[in-house]
Amino acid sequence: MFLSESEKKITNEYLENGYIIQPVADQGALEWIRNQYIQIIQSELNISPTINPEQLLNHIEEYVSVDTLNHFRLRMIEGINALEPFREMYFKIARPYLEVLVGNELAMQLRVNLSIQLPNDDSSLLQVHADTWSGDSPFEVVVWLPLVDCFGTKAMYLLSPRASKKLNENFVDRAGKSSKDLYQNIRNEVKWLDVKYGEVLIFNQALPHGNRCNEESETRWSMNCRFKGVFTPYSDKKIGEFFEPITLRAASQTGMKYNPPKVV
């Protein structure tokens, strides 16, 4: 493969571990995103703008209860996705890494998701799963971006490609009767991924992953969005319905429109 040394390093790391964690590619885009969230929060909760943004995010549990969390989270998702530059800013965060791992003709999920996990809240758990088990293409990657430092149980876990291969070979026996049974079976094999604010995680969503109850003293804020090559196979989530082309090149545009001359 005609890859540079830096491209080989990122590629090998992703293939070996199932993920990469890198500094965000555009710090200005990250700050823009977090500032927009802060403004939406202040408007939604009528909070003074003098509160430190990091303090506000890490301790949003002082303003939002478990009972109102999902409504609040949906309001955040609606507000941020309504901002026209948002998805482009999100793309800028990881663009050079995506171009190495996925390609330079990309399709992006139409809506960026948000996870907010309050301390000791067991109502926001994402049980162990692989996205491909529920209709996602194995050609997708997830760009996971924290708005705060995520560590320990405030973060997410992932099963390595090697361990996932062994699991798949004996899945029926190891899966048990529920996702809880499956997690108990692999809990000693998963890796918790510490991702600081200012870093971005890109992982293989075909590998089992999830989260547990956040036992840290701070709230987790993280976004996730799927990307894939425009011309790679789709599964249940189709282009135009779930994905949108964002970096279609000129030759592809002309090729898709090409009609041969009529000879009859």
Query: How many domains are there within the chain?
Result: 1
Which residues touch 234 (CB under 8 Å, ≥6 apart)?
Answer: 137, 228, 243
Q: Is the dihedral of CA 231, 13, 203, 108 positive or negative?
A: negative
| Residue 43, domain member (yes or no) | yes
Domain CATH for 37: 2.60.120.620
Q: Are 191 and 160 in contact (CB under 8 A)?
A: yes
Q: Is the dihedral of CA 211, 44, 112, 9 positive or negative?
A: negative
Secondary structure letter of residue 194 according to DSSP: -
User: Whole-prediction pTM value?
Assistant: 0.95
Which residues touch 27 (CB under 8 Å, ≥6 apart)?
Answer: 198
Q: What does each of the 264 residues of the chain score in pLDDT, given as a tens digit? A: 799 999 999 999 999 999 999 999 999 999 999 999 999 999 999 988 778 999 999 999 999 999 999 999 999 999 999 999 999 999 999 999 999 999 999 999 999 999 999 999 988 888 999 999 999 999 999 999 999 999 999 999 999 999 999 999 999 888 888 888 999 999 999 999 999 999 999 999 999 999 999 999 999 999 999 999 999 999 999 999 999 999 999 999 999 999 999 988
| Residue 107, domain member (yes or no) | yes
Q: How many angstroms separate the CA atoms of 12 and 191, rounded? A: 18
Residue with tokens 């303090």: 55
| Residue 134, domain member (yes or no) | yes
Q: By 3-state DSSP, what share of the chain in percent is helix, strand and coil, each rounded to 5?
A: 40, 20, 40
Which residues constitute the domain of residue 81?
Answer: 13-250
| Residue 4, domain member (yes or no) | no
Tell me how many degrees the CA angle 181-117-60 measures, rounded to the nearest 5. 165
Q: Give the dihedral of Cα atoms 55, 57, 59, 61; nearest 10 deg.
A: 160
| Residue 33, domain member (yes or no) | yes
| Residue 198, domain member (yes or no) | yes
Q: How many angstroms separate the CA atoms of 206 and 199, rounded? A: 22
Q: Is 188 helix (H, G, I), strand (E, B) or coil?
A: coil
Q: Are 131 and 206 in contact (CB under 8 A)?
A: yes
Q: How many angstroms separate the CA atoms of 131 and 138, rounded? A: 8
Q: How many other CB atoms sit within 10 Å of the CB of residue 2? A: 4
| Residue 158, domain member (yes or no) | yes
